[in-house]
Amino acid sequence: MVGRPKEFDEKKTLERAMEVFWTNGYEATSVQDLLDAMGINRGSMYDTFGDKHALFSAAITHYGRTITQSIEDTLDGPGSPLGNIRKLLIQISNPETNGKCRGCLATNTVVELAPHDPEVAEAVKALLRRVEKAFHRTLVRAVEIGELSPDANPRALARFLCCTIQGLVVMGKASASRSTIKDIVNVTLATLT
């Protein structure tokens, strides 16, 4: 026997749940908060996504794909590799594009859940590995075209940049001044050259 077709867009519903988790955090989000935001009933949530933890896992995975793809698109874009890194740092440090001072869902999750939730910790690690690989590719291209010294260590610099972007979103969430954020971006870029 075939079940009734879903009467909601699963991706849009997942994105609404992701927004609630991103704004409130995992622990402070109730199932009712999720149901209200998603516009579905409890049975539909459990049938489609599972319990709150399973829904959160789906939301963090969706966030990882979406955010990481955006980072890769910027870093792998045409033009100067270091120019693309600059563009990404400026995008991340811009309060209009960095999640309205909510920080990064991955960073928030690392702090809140990763120490005691191995499944979530692994999902966030996978996201961060993908970002590091994107930085690494970009930095290797920068060495190949002479934007960086042949003595540069693209792997170490990629790890440094991953740490820097996490720090930038934390500083943004902490309402750091524009001049503070600008200083961090400028010192980061100076470190590369």
Of 4, 91, 10, 99, which Cα lies nearest the Cα of 55?
10
Low-confidence ranges of the chain (pLDDT < 50): 1-2, 98-99
55 CB contacts (<8 Å, ≥6 apart)?
14, 17, 34, 45, 49
Q: Do 185 and 168 touch, CB atoms closer than 8 A?
A: yes
In the chain, domain spans: 61-192
Buried b (16+ CB within 10 A) or exposed e, 70-90: ebbebbeeeeebbebbbebbe
For 4-19, write each residue's pLDDT tens digit: 556 789 999 999 999 9
Residue type, 171: M
What's the pTM? 0.85
Q: How many CB atoms lie within 10 A of CB 1?
A: 2
Share of the chain above pLDDT 70, in %: 93
Domain 61-192 has CATH 1.10.357.10: yes
3 state DSSP class of 79: coil
